[in-house]
A and B are shown apart, each in its own frame.
Chain A
């Protein structure tokens, strides 16, 4: 009830509210107009400059952000590429090492086989040479024996074969030749 009473009383005294509050409505209107003019002036001359500046700054910031993002992306890409290159390089290095090991193994095997073959050839050649030498010695012995036999036979025949025996030999030979 008190509230309603207060409200009713206030409505009655509304004409004087500005006065009661100490506000001069003329001055208020003037201030409002001045404020509007100020707003208009600001909106016409200051605000566009500020907005332009802000826009430019924002644009710059956005560009910088884009550039930073791009750089980040590039860095990420570079990192990925580097990682890929590193992985590839590691793989190639591993391949090279494996190939080198394989080749080294092959070379060792080849060298061993060659050395073995050479050794076998040397042994075979030595055997062949020995056989050859033995054969040559046998042949020389055989020939020397023949020479000796011929020499001895000649000596014996020269002593034993006199004119008479020679004539008998000739007669036999002629008979055989007929």
Chain B
């Protein structure tokens, strides 16, 4: 059995390969296989967070944008530009998620920054902030 890598060194290894341009699917498959083999699947969330941290150090940011409708390319571009401006990253890659419950607007989640301008959020604020009981 191979030596057990620490979470941080594993994250650093994956981040380095991603920065070097290795295909994401292949790296993800290898990481998943390794975690299953070493029975460390419970650490996945922490490892992903560490990977994001190391990528951010190299100017690469991965985040998620959630909206009620499919976003057009121009809107996505604008969101990426916004994320770059806010974080100072060189490259931003965003996962798109469609969730009708947000009603409208977007929810942008990138390491160290979050922007929730969804209508659902605004309505929740309306209901909770001014609630008296």
Q: How far is the CB of B84 from chain A (nearest CB, A)?
A: 12
Q: How far is the CA of A38 from the CA of B72 in the complex (A)?
A: 181
* B126 lies within 8 A of A157 (CB): no
* B78 lies within 8 A of A171 (CB): yes
| Count of interface residues, chain B, beta-carbon cutoff 8 Å | 27
B3: Cβ under 8 A from any A Cβ? no
| Given A139-B132, A143-B132, A161-B104, A154 and B75 contact (CB-CB distance below 8 Å) | no
Residues in chain B near residue A157, CB distance under 8 A: 103-104, 119
Q: How far is the CB of A13 from chain B (nearest CB, A)?
A: 165
For B79, give the chain A residue with the smallest CB separation.
Answer: A174
* B69 lies within 8 A of A154 (CB): no
B127: Cβ under 8 A from any A Cβ? yes
* B82 lies within 8 A of A178 (CB): yes
* B67 lies within 8 A of A170 (CB): yes
For A174, give the chain B residue with the smallest CB separation.
Answer: B82
* A158 lies within 8 A of B127 (CB): no
Q: Which of A136, A140, A169 contacts B104 (CB 8 A)?
A: A169
A147: Cβ under 8 A from any B Cβ? yes
Dominant SS among interface residues on chain A:
helix
Q: How far is the CB of A1 from chain B (nearest CB, A)?
A: 164
Highest count of chain B CB atoms <10 Å: which of A169, A170, A174: A170
B68: Cβ under 8 A from any A Cβ? yes
Residues in chain A near residue B127, CB distance under 8 A: 143, 146-147, 150
B133: Cβ under 8 A from any A Cβ? yes
* B133 lies within 8 A of A139 (CB): yes
| Given A157-B104, A173-B106, A177-B117, A143 and B131 contact (CB-CB distance below 8 Å) | yes
5 residue pairs from A and B, CB less than 8 Å apart: A143-B131, A146-B126, A149-B126, A161-B103, A169-B105
Q: A170-B67, A170-B105, A173-B106 are known contacts; what are 8 more A-B pairs with Cβ within 8 Å?
A: A138-B132, A139-B132, A143-B132, A146-B126, A166-B68, A167-B71, A170-B106, A171-B78
Interface residues of B (CB under 8 A from A): 67-72, 75, 78-79, 82, 85, 103-106, 115, 117, 119-120, 123-124, 126-127, 130-133
